[in-house]
Structure 1
Amino acid sequence: MKRVIASLIAVLACAVVTSCSTNEEEFVEPLLEQITKSVTADVNGGHYEIAYSISNPAAGFEISASTKQEWIGNFTYGEGTIGFDVAPNDTGGPRNGSISVVYGEAGFSVPVTQLANEDVSFEFNLRQMTSTGVTIDVLPSDKTIYYTWNILDKAVADEKYSDDEVLTAYALELVNEDLEYYRNYVDQNGSLADVLSYADDLIRINTLNPATDYQIFAFGIDEKAGTVISAVTRSDFTTPEFKIQDECKFTITFDVVLQTEMTFTIVPDNPSTRYYVGICPTEMIDEKGADAIALEFIRQADVAGIDWAAHSSLHSGELTANTFEDMNITDMTPGVAYSVVVFGVSDLGERTTEVSYASQTLPVVVPSDMTFEITLVEQTESGAILNIVPSAKDEPYIAGVMKYEQYSEYIGKDEEFMNYVVEYGGMGVYEGDQRMDRSTALISDTDYVCFAFGYAGGITTPLTIFEFKTGKPDTGGGASVEITETKIIDGAEVGYDGMAAVYVYMSPNSEAAHWYAQALLSENGVPTDAFGNTFTDTEIVNLLTNPNNDSRYVDSEYVATPIDWGTEITFCIIAEDSEGNLGQLIKHTVTPQQ
């Protein structure tokens, strides 16, 4: 009762102050910030705390905590902390709970995991250790759990992650980053199980440093809740110092050096030595040293999935190679010094020899008198085949195809156009005659240009432009479909509340081998895109016959779409016979009314 009276007095006092004030202050909503993200409790239980902070605290508001778990209780409240007790865990397995924290209308939840009596442990079998790598076999005592494991520099582990709770929080951040990447680039429906380890996990790592102390750790994770379900197991190891295993030396000579490429020859004095070749700016060697650059090459190749036991990037005996043709290096810059870096490597990915390297500065860009002859070999409904014949067969050039409409912005601005292509075009770099097949990659009945200009780290020739037009689709065939019924229903029946669902049923004639249909927005019967831009018939035919169009219906007895009531929609349909001859384009416009 005293507490109720005190609260009432506080409210009345506040009301009096407000009524007496001539300048009312705007109420600022208090902000509750969660500091402790999760709690992992020992199997024996004990006292734990949750940390928080409050900005703009309000009179009459109190922090409170609650839980549905009987093994969590006895909440105490301090300045920015909430204490609680966890009972000993005698269930024989880990258990998960949560604590709800509330302040006014704000709140958050803290997951609590308690470890089990029979806790999971991990064994780490390390083998085939080299100065820069090791094969690791992670063996959990419970083969049915999901877990994460990783390696830290021992100095970093001791300085920042000696506390298990800090380490697990850091590792969970990495796991969630892996999951985000997996969902963005692999499977948008991916789960934690896709990025966690399960059962025994065997992997080779070649990204370590020689003579360095490391710590490997692992702990179990609930693949659904994302919480820690086991204690952390740690193990330390040290990589050995690097030692030369092969006294092979390499002689490197340069045969041809151009503005953006060079040809070189490598001769090892031991023909049986397996070696790796890399190219880098010489200034990188000057800055980091040859040994560090060789280690970086090994790391990059390892991340790319190279098989060190047998791979096309590994050589033995004399080698002559070109950076452009053999190594696919297309971004070398004229006037810059580059080094060929060579070193022996074992089948475990460890360097075995001293690093040899030789440097060569590429010449600056020199204008060329190379010219181009571009001819149209074949015109198709959806593209063209062109021949590009340069007068100089050994000079690099850029060539491509672009809509005339896009190119027209640069008419009279050749240099600006070529610079645009170099920076944003993503076009290929070629040498010699080129047959450019775009027979199925362009839009019908559309004006295009094919362009070419010399490029050797810089533009070396004037621009050559060849204009052409793709063919029109022939829609004079006898294949067709008949619209047999148009059906409009309430979209709620098929999961589209507040909308209409329109079905158009079709029946093909005897000449139709395939037919394609799609619903498009329209205005007065003219199909448009979502921004109101109208489609030509040619564009509609291209859309319907494009095999990459996932929105079309193919050989279906109906085509359907949800649409707002009162909004016009046009169903576009075309059929083709067994020889690919298209029939007439059919358009059927519907405006559903409630």
Structure 2
Amino acid sequence: MKRLFIHVIAILSAVAVVGCSQEELSPVLVIENPEPLAFNCGEGVIRYEVQNAARGISINAVSDRDWIGNFDYSVDGEIRFSVEDNSGGVRNANVTVTYGPADPVIVTIRQLTVAEAGAARIGIITQGPFTAGAEGGEIVLEYEIENHVPGQEITASSDSKWASHFEYPEYGRILVFPEANFYAEERKAVLTLSYPKADDITVEIVQKASESTEDPFFINVTGVSEVEATVSWFPADKEMTYVNGLTFKSALDAYDGDYEKYIEDDVEYLKGRAEAAGISLSDYLKQVLQTGDKGVKWSALEPATEYCAYAYGLSSDGTVTSRMVVARFTTKSPEQLDCNFSFELESSTASELSVKVLPDNSSVRYYAGIISKADYETAGSDQAIIDKIVDYIDEEIWFNSLYQIWKQWSDFTEAGASVVSAEKLFSDTEYYAYAFGLEEQGLVTTTFQKDLFRTAPLEVTDDCTFEISSEVSTSYMADFVIRPSNPDTKYYVSCLTTDYVLSYSMEDLATILINEADLYGYDWANGQYTFSGEQHLNSYGDLGIMPLAPSSNYTLVLFGTDADGNRTTEVFTEQFRTQVLVPSDMTFGLGVTDVSTSAVTLTCEPSRDDELYVLGCMPVSRYQDYGSDEAAISAVVEYWSNSSMYRVTRSGQQNLTADIDIFYDRIQPDTDYYVFAFGYMGAVTTGITKMRFTTPASDVPVSDASVGISYEILDGDALVIEDPYTYPPASWSGVAAAKFTISPGEGTAGWYFVTFTNSFGEIYMMPTDELIENVKRYGSYNKREALVKMNWYSSIVAVAVPEDADGVYGKPVIVEVVASYPGAYAVQDMPEMRPLVIENPDLTPKKCDLVQGEFILKGYENALKEDFDSRFDVTRRPAGLSGKPARRIYGIDTMSRPVSSLR
């Protein structure tokens, strides 16, 4: 670097110096201008030169700031000094350097902040290679950091979980603790060291292969059929705890041979189960880990499918103790039967089709159905259709078993000649009648066979025409004048988005509207959307259509019908567009009454009665998190747009009693809330009006007492075999049992425990003081274990309330339990009905009542389901039982007792 010098020359009384002798010249100080100092440099130096130096004179320096000191002049031409670390902003100090008679020189020392200190650099001191033994151990990495900042720490990360355990005992040292390597190949991991304002550096470590060649498990698979197999596990160490399971080979193949990653994901799943049960991982693993020899007979497997039975050692603290051993097997393919199907048209109308199915082998049982050609082509393969039908039947058998109705596969299949029919079809449209062999347990025994048919064209029986005009004066509704050419013609009116209308032909659109109305039992002769003669209708007031969206295109659709819902005329339409949104002048008078710890009555007096508004409440803290009135309104609209804004809109004066807020969270005691209102007519029409209120504190004190609930599902049949006197067959055969363990926490003197058959939502939404009273009234005190009888796949809710030594209650623990069959589940088909402690259940209604809706092609899945449901009179599922896991895998322990479900 080029040096800059400051020359300070004493002003001499004599102007001319030329010709003077050396002895006559005065000393002159020449100082090098120092560079700015780093925030943590520790030491600085001022370099100087004395011209015309004289004997007996010394250099000297003084600072005007106390963060510079300890000047050292031992090296000729250098003034060294100590500098304290700078933890604040940029700072300057003036150092005055003197040398006898020479003019003093003031040097400015500038010290930078951490932010201006420049880049750091990580350096590795320890020389590699870094190698660990198969048993694990410890690796020491020594490092140094140029421009190290006190208080800022180095961090290490790894691309492999087995090498991701680190300690940082002191600056300059990182300890790495590799996990044991149980496999016959060495493995490598790349560690990344990171430090603020420094480039990351990487270090590779290598772990030696295991010298052990003996497998920790022998896995034997016997009795393999199309849907069953018996798997036996024999660990070499009979005392070792281990995980055993069964999964699809395709699921294991996704790991590309990386069994360590599979185990890692498996352990994470078990951690999730423990957390959901409200207990520690150690306590959970003590319940589910296996020891000794185990055998499981699996059922409900998929035919012609590859599976993997596996096992690996795992201690109760979650430490992997052995490598994973895998045994692969393939279920048998169903025997294919010799059978061909022919199809003959029985009858065809514009909306119905009946086809006779004729198998040439009368002993073959088969499933038959009807699907449109267009929907069939969305399936991509015949096998996709077969798989869906098998799943539908499997689910229907399972669902009926919950109500002690024992259906068989033969209830859904035919033998010999049969007639398959479908109704509510599109006119003049191609449909396939199809059939395929299907036996018990879902075994498919023939190919998928089909034939093409066409429904009859619709015959218009009434030549009535309609003159329609529309007038739009607002952003949310329209007026229509309808003049039929025949005043006696009955006609049906609907209003839809134009995009939806244009997705169909007019004939198909009318069919869809008729079928939807039939679904709700519409009275075609006297229904509220059936008219005759000239009509002056308003979309909001007469047709009951909730406010339309502003600046949007809609279409009025109408057609003549008879008393049975058959279309009698052509389809007529009138397109219109709503106006831009005009803000409303509506105002709101808000209030609250009957405020309790868990409920409140919200009152609202709007300034006008002909517009809708949203009324509700939310915690002040949540409102403030949104940051503005506009953001809060947007949050409410976004939340309810998933179902329907009109579930929370009102009109006119209101006195609304609520035990939940606008987001379906329970009203809490001792909490600040806003009651609020804003106009909504297809879009937000006003700003928000809000008023603050506070719920009273609960008169039920809360202590730190705690309690945990864990459980396992047992098979009643196994209990009968084990102890028929305690568990008589009449009571325990064919049912499930939930075995509960209640574990008190520190500071808990006692607890109440009970199970309810109410839904989880009912229990969760119950006010805390009421819940505690019910648990005390119906529950048991200080019960550590309980066995509760259940129907398979039914649910109960377990509740425990702890109390401390002073009798003050702790927070209730609520756990929903579903009696899933004790066995293992394939990885990709883990059931959703797991027991969870839900802190904030989503109880938002999901049904949408809006008139607009984007058209989605029905597709083969929906088409098959509609056909299946109508043919076998499938009813709507209760909440929480919308469907069973797609393919259940059962496991019964063949050596001791039912195996707890690991997957």
- TM class, shorter-chain normalised? 0.5 to 0.7
The residue aligned with 2:768 is 543
In the TM superposition, 1:252-267 aligns within 5 A as 252-254=468-470, 257-267=473-483
Q: Determine the C-alpha separation between the residues in 2 that align with 1:457 and 1:157.
A: 38
Q: State whether residues 473 and 541 of structure 1, in contact with CA within 8 Å, keep that contact through their aligned partners in structure 2.
A: no
Change (3 A) 1:461 1:342: same
Q: Determine the C-alpha separation between the residues in 1 that align with 2:377 and 2:685.
A: 57
Q: Determine the C-alpha separation between the residues in 1 that align with 2:378 and 2:685.
A: 56
1:421 matched to 2:636? The reply is yes
Match of 1:315 among 516, 525, 530: 530
Give secondary structure in 2 for the equivalent of 1:418: helix
1:145-192 Cα distance to aligned partner (Å, 9 max, x none): 98533224469989999xxxx74x343222245469879999999999
Q: Give the counterpart letter for 1:206 in structure 2.
A: K
The residue aligned with 1:113 is 335
1:214 matched to 2:431? The reply is yes
The residue aligned with 1:149 is 368
Match of 1:435 among 655, 668, 671: 655
The residue aligned with 2:861 is none
Offset of residue 559 of structure 1: 6.3
Change (3 A) 1:107 1:202: closer
The residue aligned with 2:489 is 273
1:367 matched to 2:568? The reply is no
Change (3 A) 1:366 1:229: same
**Structure with a larger share of its residues in strand:** 1
Q: Determine the C-alpha separation between the residues in 2 that align with 1:321 and 1:184.
A: 49
Give secondary structure in 1 for the equivalent of 2:621: helix
Q: Give the counterpart letter for 1:402 in structure 2.
A: M
The residue aligned with 1:572 is 802
Offset of residue 417 of structure 1: 1.2
Change (3 A) 1:339 1:198: same
Change (3 A) 1:401 1:177: farther
Offset of residue 430 of structure 1: 2.6
Q: State whether residues 519 and 571 of structure 1, in contact with CA within 8 Å, keep that contact through their aligned partners in structure 2.
A: no
Change (3 A) 1:355 1:208: closer
Q: Determine the C-alpha separation between the residues in 2 that align with 1:314 and 1:217.
A: 38
1:556 matched to 2:771? The reply is no
Offset of residue 404 of structure 1: 2.4
1:50-84 Cα distance to aligned partner (Å, 9 max, x none): xx9x99xxxxxxxxxxxxxxxxxxxxxxxxxxxxx
In the TM superposition, 1:82-481 aligns within 5 A as 106-115=328-337, 126-127=346-347, 129-131=348-350, 133-134=351-352, 136=354, 148-153=367-372, 167=382, 169-176=383-390, 178=392, 197=412, 204-210=422-428, 212-223=429-440, 225-229=441-445, 234=450, 236-254=452-470, 257-285=473-501, 290-298=506-514, 300-301=516-517, 304=519, 306=521, 312=527, 315-318=530-533, 322-324=538-540, 329-330=545-546, 332-346=548-562, 349-411=565-627, 413-425=628-640, 427=645, 428-438=648-658, 442-473=667-698
Change (3 A) 1:348 1:109: farther
Offset of residue 362 of structure 1: 0.9
1:384-440 Cα distance to aligned partner (Å, 9 max, x none): 1121111122123222221223222135x1111111211124552233222222158
Offset of residue 112 of structure 1: 1.8
Query: Identity percentage over the alignment?
Result: 23
Change (3 A) 1:556 1:139: farther
Q: Determine the C-alpha separation between the residues in 1 that align with 2:598 and 2:352.
A: 54
Q: Determine the C-alpha separation between the residues in 2 that align with 1:400 and 1:493.
A: 42
Q: Determine the C-alpha separation between the residues in 1 that align with 2:765 and 2:375.
A: 61
Q: Give the counterpart letter for 1:432 in structure 2.
A: G
Q: State whether residues 541 and 585 of structure 1, in contact with CA within 8 Å, keep that contact through their aligned partners in structure 2.
A: no
Q: Determine the C-alpha separation between the residues in 2 that align with 1:321 and 1:186.
A: 47
Q: Determine the C-alpha separation between the residues in 2 that align with 1:215 and 1:257.
A: 48
Change (3 A) 1:431 1:305: closer
Change (3 A) 1:325 1:156: closer
Give secondary structure in 2 for the equivalent of 1:379: coil
1:437-469 Cα distance to aligned partner (Å, 9 max, x none): 215863334332211112233332221112223
The residue aligned with 1:535 is none
Offset of residue 259 of structure 1: 1.5
Q: Determine the C-alpha separation between the residues in 2 that align with 1:214 and 1:541.
A: 52
Q: Determine the C-alpha separation between the residues in 2 that align with 1:445 and 1:466.
A: 16
Give secondary structure in 2 for the equivalent of 1:380: coil
Change (3 A) 1:98 1:158: closer
Give secondary structure in 1 for the equivalent of 2:673: strand
Q: Determine the C-alpha separation between the residues in 2 that align with 1:348 and 1:561.
A: 63
Q: Give the counterpart letter for 2:689 in structure 1.
A: T
Listed as ranges, the gaps of 5+ residues in structure 1 are 1-17, 19-25, 27-37, 39-51, 56-96, 477-487, 496-517, 528-538, 564-568, 575-583, 590-594
Stretch deviating more after TM superposition (353-362 or 141-150): 141-150
Listed as ranges, the gaps of 5+ residues in structure 2 are 1-184, 186-208, 210-225, 227-249, 255-301, 309-325, 661-665, 702-707, 716-740, 751-763, 787-798, 813-903
Structure-2-length-normalised TM-score: 0.39
Stretch deviating more after TM superposition (100-109 or 315-324): 100-109
Change (3 A) 1:430 1:560: same
Stretch deviating more after TM superposition (383-392 or 455-464): 455-464
Q: State whether residues 468 and 483 of structure 2, in contact with CA within 8 Å, keep that contact through their aligned partners in structure 1.
A: yes
Q: State whether residues 248 and 269 of structure 1, in contact with CA within 8 Å, keep that contact through their aligned partners in structure 2.
A: yes
Change (3 A) 1:316 1:455: closer
1:199-240 Cα distance to aligned partner (Å, 9 max, x none): 788865223241x343312345234x2112568675553222
Q: Determine the C-alpha separation between the residues in 2 that align with 1:541 and 1:156.
A: 46
Offset of residue 471 of structure 1: 4.0
Stretch deviating more after TM superposition (178-187 or 435-444): 178-187
Q: Determine the C-alpha separation between the residues in 1 that align with 2:571 and 2:685.
A: 36
Change (3 A) 1:570 1:239: closer
Q: Give the counterpart letter for 1:572 in structure 2.
A: P
Q: Determine the C-alpha separation between the residues in 2 that align with 1:156 and 1:587.
A: 57
Q: Give the counterpart letter for 2:618 in structure 1.
A: M
Q: Determine the C-alpha separation between the residues in 2 that align with 1:362 and 1:473.
A: 50
Paired positions, count: 429
Give secondary structure in 1 for the equivalent of 2:691: strand
Change (3 A) 1:558 1:207: farther
Q: Give the counterpart letter for 1:419 in structure 2.
A: S
Change (3 A) 1:540 1:243: closer
Q: Determine the C-alpha separation between the residues in 2 that align with 1:214 and 1:147.
A: 19
Offset of residue 341 of structure 1: 0.5
Q: Determine the C-alpha separation between the residues in 2 that align with 1:309 and 1:143.
A: 44
Q: State whether residues 365 and 410 of structure 2, in contact with CA within 8 Å, keep that contact through their aligned partners in structure 1.
A: no
Change (3 A) 1:415 1:255: same
Offset of residue 336 of structure 1: 1.3
Q: Determine the C-alpha separation between the residues in 2 that align with 1:205 and 1:493.
A: 44
Q: State whether residues 219 and 228 of structure 1, in contact with CA within 8 Å, keep that contact through their aligned partners in structure 2.
A: yes
The residue aligned with 1:485 is none
Q: Which has the larger radius of gyration?
A: 2
